[in-house]
Structure 1
Amino acid sequence: MSLVLVLNSGSSSIKFQLVDPTSHATDEPFASGLVEQIGEPSGTITLKHAGEKHRIEAPIPDHAAGLDLAFTLMSEHKCGPKDVELVAVGHRTVHGGLLFNSPEVITDEIVELMRDLIPLAPLHNPANIVGIEVARELLPDIPHVAVFDTGFFHSLPPAAALYAIDAETAAEHGVRRYGFHGTSHEYVSHKVADILGRPYEDINQITLHLGNGASCAAIKGGRPIDTSMGMTPLAGLVMGTRSGDIDPGIVFHLHRTAGMSIDEIDALLNKRSGVKGISGVNDFRELRALIDEGNQDAWLAYNIYIHQLRRYIGSYMIALGRVDAITFTAGVGENADFVREDALAGLEMYGIKIDPAKNGREQIISTDDSTIKVLVVPTNEELAIARYAKTKSEAAQS
């Protein structure tokens, strides 16, 4: 079995999976795990393999130590990088800017170009680069491939990609819509074509990636024409802890009247807003429980969330003209049937009809006579990254 190691390096954590690129979306990875609390006095490493869970606690001073400990734990259970046929390492990389619109085999030159993009993603790209450097040192003989979260939206039409600010300033500082969750939107939209048995290029669809981070995309004839996230992942839909779209004047108002610094406002909008900022929770299971108990803050947070989601769905229906499918994916999208029902309620006149008996039980949850098909399709970004990494590494070696 040829496997790909998929790495997602954050500022204080590393998610890892050993994936068979030929597997199905519903298959469990060969092994998976998480390195947490990097840089703290004590960290944890968890591993799932062959139906068993393993966990160790140890000081993890940096990413190098964390990945090394993870490899050691994997080797103890015969699933380390040297215990399997490892053909590539795929790295989830948040921001490719305008430089990268497809996966890239990583070289020293590619890493330096990624450093140039740090100002566009100061919270994500530095950690991604550290993870790449550490993995390349530990696995120097294996091809490493960067898969960029922004790549799918690289060719957005100018009307969707550009903001109405001074063009010279925008060009100088890279201010434009880049979009995120691209790997998920691309993967899911292709799965929709497979499920419907239609050519990808013939379908107009709206994909809704609803997790703690949330985004939606309008895809016309196989090409994205709009997406909700912008220059950063803060824009668009209301999310677990992020505000989504707000009046930009709020930033100036908070700075001038509340004396908040830019960093404080950044933390407010990214970490203390969204559903959690209003209700106190960001897990939709907890949110639903609070609503059922009559909690008014939870009800308000949910209504704001649904209101913004419906606004985007409606605007994308107009942008596409003809819509063939609307698809829900990611943690909330795949598991919260009430979100799917409320997001599309009352749209029968547009040919959107959810069948309550199918919602939560089948992939196509719309009625047989619904003009627009409504689907629930599990995303699998790690599998998509594994496939990209294997294909790209093989092409580079041929």
Structure 2
Amino acid sequence: MKQILTINPGATSTKIAMYQDTQLAWKEEITYSSQDLAKYDKIFDQFSLRLADIEEVLASHQVTKLDLAVGRGGLIGPVKSGAIKVNQSLVDHLQYHPVLEHASNLGAKLAWEISKKHGTGLALIYDPVTVDSMSPVARLTGIKGIERRSIGHHLNMRAVARKAAEKVGKSYDDANLIVVHLGGGSSASAHKHGQVIDFVSDDEIMFSAERSGGLPIKAMLPVIKEMGLDKFNQLIRKRGGLYSYFGTTDLRVVEEKIAQGDQEASLVFDALCLGISKTIAALSVSIAQPIDQICLTGGMARSNLLCKKVEERVHFIAPLAIYPGEFELEALALGGFRVLNQEEEAQELSFDA
């Protein structure tokens, strides 16, 4: 039985889990306050702290031997989906040349160091944030040199897509699926025969709990001029979406307002659902074949009202299935197991210094 440790570093937490083959043995979450992390200028400055805390959890579970450690992949630039071996080149790239500073960039080095101490030295990342198999036509915008990018919740969405394919009795490589991850930021993906051929990021079409989604450019030009780029970036990424209207990112608070007869809350909620539905419709034409299933996942997929309203708008495209929450630790473990079981081959990347 293979012992597989999975590691998912987030902004204020590190989630870890032990799997025996494909079965969960235990799961823990190490949390940090904003004050705990405020003294660290860069993400990689947190490495020693997070590693020591993981080691403490492993000691509490009397972990002595691992077959594999799998970390959440960071922002390494466009890569193929699937497993990637951790090597020094990858770690250095994530530390010194990431696309963006993000806690997930720590996943590779944490997995590698723990595997060297407790296992064979084999460590993987799986379906990193920058998985990119978009079709060439989907990349183009109306401005030459500006292209759409595939950066988002790939790990969870591909895990959900595999579950959905199994549910409809197909292999992932044979299915046509649309998956929408709904949370603080939302993204969506079109899966055609095992490839994410189109992707909607959190600055396009639908707004979310804290992101603005797509905005009318002409109307925003004077706002950008007045606010400046830094404040505008904060507005659209941290203070947009539900927060802009209600000062909260908690969808449950908005639903309570609706239950109390708040008409603005009802209208904004309907607009949220309309944006999600427009996103699904846009991705359906990228697939341009019958869709086997539409999937909603992420934290906001726990809202029965949201799922019902979206289903009312998109049911003519394909059946809707709900996968609330996220499956990232499970996805890391299952991907790692497929590599150990020789069902999948891990990529090995090298980056220019």
> Under a length normalisation based on structure 2, what TM-score does the superposition of the two structures give?
0.81
Q: Does 1:31 align with 2:27?
A: yes
The amino acid of 1:146's aligned partner reads I
Which range is displaced more, 3-12 or 132-141? 132-141
Could you tell me how far apart the structure 1 residues matched to 2:49 and 2:269 are?
41
State the partner residue of 2:116. 140
> Under a length normalisation based on structure 1, what TM-score does the superposition of the two structures give?
0.73
Could you tell me how far apart the structure 2 residues matched to 1:74 and 1:249 are?
54
Q: Does 1:75 align with 2:59?
A: yes
Q: Does 1:326 align with 2:294?
A: yes
**Secondary structure at the counterpart of residue 243 of structure 2:** helix
Of residues 377, 380, 385 in structure 1, which corresponds to 2:327? 380
Task: Kindly report which structure 2 residues correspond to 1:230-249, keeping only aligned pairs within 5 A, or say none.
Answer: 233-248=202-217
Task: Please state how far the C-alpha of 1:91 moved relative to its aligned partner.
Answer: 1.3
Q: Does 1:18 align with 2:26?
A: no
Q: Deviations over 1:104-129 (max 9, x none)?
A: 211111223334652x323x1xx334
Gaps of 5+ in 2: 40-44, 347-353
Of residues 162, 165, 173 in structure 2, which corresponds to 1:193? 165
Distance 1:102 1:38, change over 3 A: same
Q: Deviations over 1:81-124 (max 9, x none)?
A: 43xx4222211123232245442211111223334652x323x1
Please tell me the root mean square deviation across aligned C-alpha atoms, in Å: 3.1
Which range is displaced more, 304-313 or 193-202? 193-202
State the partner residue of 2:267. 300
Identity of aligned residues (%): 21
State the partner residue of 2:88. 108
The amino acid of 1:155's aligned partner reads S
**Secondary structure at the counterpart of residue 40 of structure 1:** helix
Distance 1:38 1:134, change over 3 A: farther
Task: Please state how far the C-alpha of 1:273 moved relative to its aligned partner.
Answer: 1.0
Task: Please state how far the C-alpha of 1:35 moved relative to its aligned partner.
Answer: 2.9
Task: Kindly report which structure 2 residues correspond to 1:228-267, keeping only aligned pairs within 5 A, or say none.
Answer: 228-229=200-201, 233-248=202-217, 252-257=221-226, 260-267=227-234
Task: Kindly report which structure 2 residues correspond to 1:101-180, keeping only aligned pairs within 5 A, or say none.
Answer: 101-115=81-95, 117-118=97-98, 120-122=99-101, 124=102, 127-130=103-106, 132-133=108-109, 136-137=112-113, 139-141=115-117, 142=119, 143-150=122-129, 152=131, 154-167=132-145, 170=146, 176-180=148-152
State the partner residue of 2:179. 207
Distance 1:113 1:236, change over 3 A: farther
Q: Deviations over 1:264-320 (max 9, x none)?
A: 222221111111221222222222112111234432331221121121122223333
Distance 1:346 1:392, change over 3 A: closer
Task: Please state how far the C-alpha of 1:251 moved relative to its aligned partner.
Answer: 5.7
State the partner residue of 1:183. 155
The answer as to whether partners of 1:3 and 1:86 remain within 8 angstroms in 2 is yes
The amino acid of 1:114's aligned partner reads L
Which protein has greater RCO, CA pairs closer than 8 Å, 6+ apart? 2
Could you tell me how far apart the structure 2 residues matched to 1:97 and 1:235 are?
20
Distance 1:17 1:114, change over 3 A: same
The answer as to whether partners of 1:87 and 1:390 remain within 8 angstroms in 2 is no
Could you tell me how far apart the structure 2 residues matched to 1:135 and 1:316 are?
34
State the partner residue of 2:76. 96
Task: Please state how far the C-alpha of 1:346 moved relative to its aligned partner.
Answer: 5.2
Could you tell me how far apart the structure 1 residues matched to 2:331 and 2:219 are?
38
Task: Please state how far the C-alpha of 1:347 moved relative to its aligned partner.
Answer: 5.5
Could you tell me how far apart the structure 2 residues matched to 1:187 and 1:315 are?
22
Distance 1:103 1:234, change over 3 A: farther
The answer as to whether partners of 1:64 and 1:134 remain within 8 angstroms in 2 is no
Task: Please state how far the C-alpha of 1:394 moved relative to its aligned partner.
Answer: 7.0
The answer as to whether partners of 1:104 and 1:392 remain within 8 angstroms in 2 is no
Which range is displaced more, 214-223 or 304-313? 214-223
State the partner residue of 2:6. 6
Residues paired across the two proteins, number? 334
**Secondary structure at the counterpart of residue 86 of structure 1:** coil
The answer as to whether partners of 1:38 and 1:62 remain within 8 angstroms in 2 is no
